[in-house]
Amino acid sequence: RVANEGCTVYTSAIMSGIYYSVSKGANVISLSLGGLEQPNSGYQIVSKAIDYAVANNVVVVAAAGNSGSGMGTVTQPASSLNAITVGNSDSSATPGISSSSSRGVLANGVIKPDVVAPGISIYSLSLNNGYATKSGTSMAAPQVSGLAALLMQQNSFLTPLQVKQKIQMSAHDAGVLEVIQGSGRINVLNALNQ
């Protein structure tokens, strides 16, 4: 919880939240937020906090953002090289990727997102103890965070890099370019049965 009442998120608050989570023994940090810092090189200041978390054996998952189908639309913190960056797809057997899902090659040549997950028309919690149907990479990223937690529960010796690799290697190819889907849509059963 790093946003203020007006839903503004300051870089300092994101970083403080990451450091706080690490200090409290978190295993997975899920970041469904984004910024506009350019160039999207993966080396911005928030990326340094993510690097710190990963170095302390914490998996960091970040929503890719909803800036559209143009190349290079992934910004911080999703542009972090060590984060598992998540785009969004529908939930069909042959998933389509949302046209709003950020994607493309970072300024340093790294391809993001790393994977996609269902993020279109997701029934989720809303304000005042309610529920609503929402879409976006912020709906997809928590599913990857849950998968990361399951993998770490299954094998507590996994490093964040190994968790990322398992999620990517077990993903289902959605039949589109890597710069759009990364390794594909997550497959929970495949990941847990590797």
Which range, 2-6, 93-97, 145-149, 173-177, has the best average confidence (pLDDT)? Answer: 145-149
DSSP 176: S
If one compares 165 and 94, the residue with the highest pLDDT of the two is 165
Reported as a single tens digit per residue, the pLDDT across 45-72 is: 888 999 999 999 999 999 999 988 788 8
pLDDT digits (tens, 9 = 90+) for 73-131: 888 889 899 999 999 998 776 678 998 999 988 888 889 999 999 999 999 888 888 99
Measured between alpha carbons, how far is 119 from 154 in angstroms, rounded to an integer?
A: 25
Cβ-proximal residues to 98 (8 Å cutoff; 6+ apart), any chain = 66, 87, 88, 89, 90, 119, 120, 135, 136
pTM of structure: 0.92
Q: Tell me whether the omega of the peptide bond preceding residue 39 falls within 30 degrees of 0, making it cis.
A: yes
Q: Looking at this protein, which amino acid is placed at residue 123?
A: Y
8 Å CB contact between 103 and 117 = no
**Residue 8 in this model has a pLDDT that exceeds 80:** no
As given in the structure block, the two tokens for residue 88 are 């969004």
- pLDDT value at position 38? 54
pLDDT at res. 161: 97
Nearest-angstrom CA–CA distance, 171 and 106? 21
More confident residue, 141 or 42: 141
> What are the pLDDT digits (tens) for 33-45?
876 555 555 557 8
Q: How many CB atoms lie within 10 A of CB 128?
A: 4
Amino acid letter at 53? Answer: A
The whole-chain average pLDDT of the chain stands at 89
For residues 153-164, average pLDDT: 97
Q: Is the pLDDT of residue 7 over 90?
A: no
What does the pLDDT read at residue 46? 85
Q: CA-to-CA distance for 59 and 165, rounded, in angstroms?
A: 12
Q: How many CA atoms lie within 13 A of 168 on its CB side?
A: 19
d(CA 187, CA 170): 6
How far apart, in whole angstroms, are the C-alpha atoms of residue 179 and residue 40? 14
Count of H helices and E strands in the chain?
A: 6, 8
Q: How large a percentage of the chain has pLDDT more than 70?
A: 91
